[in-house]
């Protein structure tokens, strides 16, 4: 083979790079990329699965109609998924990869506050809009104008749980068990304790015990709680931990009720917990049993497609993604410069005042946090999450 001159080589490379650039522009100009920072592996993989399934269903809806219409032009949507392994550091890495390598216009997730708080910091610092479907801890959006959520907050959920337990159980005293390494669990436990003792008096939380995320044996903490004889136990833990704790409490002779929080709401809870969780209550974002209208349509389609009833994470992911899609449309145009496009989307998200989601109506008042109602459900003998009552902000 003859040696190619330097000038010829440079010319060939320039033509090749130019062709690639043109190909890239042609593709990118017709595609809107949205990132998903999800718990696909780790302690709570069902959470990430539910989010991805809901997102894929929504993406199919949009692209089957030719794409998302923005400013009179239709754009295909592409969803890019990164696994945060249900770890805080992995959530930050996933966010940075979506922002700097995948060049997404916005990020959906993480779901769990343990991952959403640090990832929210990364998104805010890099001026990329993020919407968490499921993170209820206030710190996720606090002082972060680029971060939003589709769910209520724990300062609202804590009183919901306390008021319902007081009324439903006629309770005067409470025991609490929580994950000290989980921002969500620890924060909600503290909020609940403050609210309960405001209602029932100092010292009426008769046991306030913690555990680690990887713990499997809770007998030491539960022995203390059971010995304190609370009227009920408040358990703001993830569904996988709940299944172990409730069973172990029953093995120790506890016969009283539990009051749970929205992290109970996974479709996998009853697979893991079985009869031990029948009859228990928890606060959450929507009730699948008895749903109507657009919510029922979503549930029926999801159930047909994926062969199980969608949990609150799936429904909230649907709402969170639709919030971003609405913001992209309301921006009125798609900027070629990714930083300019992200700014348009963030500003449009901040300007959404009301949103009619399948998990309920949301009202935004100048922050990334919606004002919306909570639902309390009871686990039926068939393992369904049945509506008990709706509680709305005053």
- DSSP string computed for 54-79: HHHHHHHHHHTTTSEEETTEEEEEEE
Q: Which residues pair with 1 in a beta bridge?
A: none
Query: Is the separation of the CB atoms in 154 and 124 below 8 Å?
Result: no
| End-of-domain residue from the set 284, 307, 329 | 284
Residues 280 and 159 in one domain: yes
For 206, the domain range is 154-284
With a CB cutoff of 8 Å and minimum separation 6, the contacts of 188 are: 136, 137, 154, 157, 158, 178, 236, 261
Determine, yes or no, domain membership for 22. Answer: no
pLDDT of residue 10: 38
What's the pTM? 0.90
With a CB cutoff of 8 Å and minimum separation 6, the contacts of 265 are: 239, 282, 284, 285, 311, 312, 313, 385
The structural domain count of the chain equals 2
Query: Is the separation of the CB atoms in 161 and 177 below 8 Å?
Result: no
Residues 118 and 162 in one domain: no
Query: Is the separation of the CB atoms in 51 and 123 below 8 Å?
Result: no
Estimate to the nearest angstrom the gap between the alpha carbon of 321 and the chain centroid.
11
**Chain segment 225-241, per-residue pLDDT in tens:** 999 999 999 999 999 99
Determine, yes or no, domain membership for 314. Answer: yes
Residues 315 and 326 in one domain: yes
Residues 146 and 180 in one domain: no
- Which CATH number goes with the domain that contains 276? 3.40.50.2300
Crossing angle of the two packed helices 338-351 and 312-331, in degrees rounded to 10: 110
Give CA–CA dist 43/13, Å, rounded: 48
Give CA–CA dist 149/382, Å, rounded: 32
Estimate to the nearest angstrom the gap between the alpha carbon of 14 and the chain centroid.
46
Query: Is the separation of the CB atoms in 144 and 120 below 8 Å?
Result: yes
| End-of-domain residue from the set 250, 284, 318 | 284
At 296, list the tokens.
């029922």
Q: What is the 3-state secondary structure (H, E, C) of 87-110?
A: CHHHHHHHHHHHHHCCCCCEEECC
Q: Can you say whether the dihedral through the CA atoms of 334, 337, 341, 343 is positive or negative?
A: negative
pLDDT of residue 366: 84
Per-residue pLDDT 10s for the chain (394 aa) are: 334 443 443 343 444 444 433 333 334 579 999 999 999 999 999 999 999 999 999 999 999 999 999 999 999 999 999 999 999 999 999 999 999 999 999 999 999 999 999 999 999 999 999 999 999 999 999 999 999 999 999 999 999 999 999 999 999 999 999 999 999 999 999 999 999 999 999 999 999 999 999 999 999 999 999 999 999 999 999 999 999 999 999 999 999 999 999 999 999 999 999 999 999 999 999 999 889 999 999 999 999 999 999 999 999 999 999 999 999 999 999 999 999 999 999 999 999 999 999 999 999 988 999 999 999 999 999 999 999 999 999 7
Reduce the DSSP state of residue 370 to 3 states and report it. Answer: strand
Residues 161 and 271 in one domain: yes
pLDDT of residue 290: 87
| End-of-domain residue from the set 262, 284, 306 | 284
């Amino acid at each position: 083979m003859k040696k190619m001159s330097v000038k010829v080589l440079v010319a060939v490379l320039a033509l090749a790079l130019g062709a690639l650039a043109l190909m890239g522009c042609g593709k990118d100009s017709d595609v809107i990329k949205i990132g998903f920072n999800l718990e696909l592996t780790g302690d709570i993989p069902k959470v990430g699965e539910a989010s991805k399934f809901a997102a894929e269903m929504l993406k199919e809806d949009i692209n089957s109609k030719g794409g998302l219409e923005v400013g009179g032009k239709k754009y295909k949507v592409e969803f890019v998924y990164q696994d945060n392994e249900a770890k805080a550091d992995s959530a930050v890495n996933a966010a940075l990869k979506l922002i700097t390598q995948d060049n997404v216009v916005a990020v959906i997730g993480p779901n769990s506050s343990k991952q959403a708080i640090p990832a929210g910091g990364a998104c805010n610092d890099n001026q990329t809009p993020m919407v968490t479907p499921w993170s209820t801890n206030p710190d996720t959006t606090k002082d972060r104008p680029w971060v939003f959520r589709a769910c209520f907050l724990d300062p609202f959920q804590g009183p919901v749980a306390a008021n319902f337990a007081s009324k439903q159980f006629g309770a005067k005293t409470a025991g609490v068990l929580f994950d000290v390494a989980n921002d969500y669990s620890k924060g909600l436990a503290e909020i609940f304790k403050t609210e309960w003792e405001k209602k029932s008096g100092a010292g009426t939380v008769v046991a306030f015990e913690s555990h680690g995320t990887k713990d499997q044996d809770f007998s030491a903490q539960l022995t203390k709680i059971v010995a304190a004889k609370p009227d009920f136990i408040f358990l703001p833990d993830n569904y996988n931990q709940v299944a172990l704790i409730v069973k172990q409490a029953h093995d120790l002779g506890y016969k009283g009720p539990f009051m749970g929080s929205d992290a109970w709401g996974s479709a996998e809870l009853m697979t893991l917990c079985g009869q031990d969780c029948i009859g228990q209550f928890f606060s959450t974002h929507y009730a699948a049993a008895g749903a109507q209208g657009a919510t029922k349509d979503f549930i029926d389609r999801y159930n047909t497609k994926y062969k199980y009833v969608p949990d609150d994470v799936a429904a909230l992911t649907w709402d969170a993604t639709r919030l971003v899609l609405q913001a992209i449309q309301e921006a009125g145009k798609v900027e070629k410069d990714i930083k300019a496009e992200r700014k348009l989307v963030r500003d449009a998200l901040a300007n959404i005042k009301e949103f009619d989601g399948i998990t309920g109506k949301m009202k935004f008042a100048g922050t990334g946090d919606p004002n919306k109602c909570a639902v309390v459900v009871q686990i039926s003998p068939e393992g369904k999450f049945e509506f008990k009552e709706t509680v709305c902000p005053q």
